[in-house]
Amino acid sequence: MNNNKQLSILLVESDSNTVQLIRNTLQRVDPISVLEVASSQDELVAILDKATIPFFDILLLDLKYEGELNGPLVIDLVRNYPCTQLMPIVALASQEDFQAAMASQHPRVNSYLPKPETFEGWAHTLKLFTDYWKATLLSIRVLMI
């Protein structure tokens, strides 16, 4: 697969350690992709208010988002903006919460990823994540032409 496509990711995550881990790992496995982070409701709304066209390829969201909004409310907020209604949403869940997340599948989430427990696990997961979504989004764009 051609990995020269830049993937633009909006990460909604309140834990600064997880944000830094994802940022560092993504830089290692896919240095051309762009990561924008919203760590609070205000930051997320400010980012979405700027958008007039879809400028993120995908939303990566911690289902256990700690803040003013929980994961499902963040999903609903994002889906209320016209420019993000069709943006794929991938929800992260800890190993302990992954089965519960899968069982309660939110109808507006496209995919779920278990949070790895090691840096190597994150590297493997984010590499698969970026490769998969680049290929998927590219094939969707080709079909739309």
**Which one is predicted more confidently, 137 or 127?**
127
Tens of pLDDT, residue by residue over 67-100, are 666 777 888 888 888 888 888 999 887 767 666 6
Q: Please spell the DSSP secondary structure of 93-141, one letter per residue.
A: E-HHHHHHHHHT--TT--EEEEPPSSHHHHHHHHHHHHHHHHHHHHHHH
pLDDT in the model for residue 145: 44
Average pLDDT, the chain: 82
> Model-level pTM?
0.84
Q: Where are the domains of the chain?
A: 8-144
CATH code: domain 8-144 is: 3.40.50.2300
Tens of pLDDT, residue by residue over 18-29, are 999 999 999 999
Q: Which residues contact 64 (CB under 8 A, 6 or more apart)?
A: 70, 71, 93, 94, 97
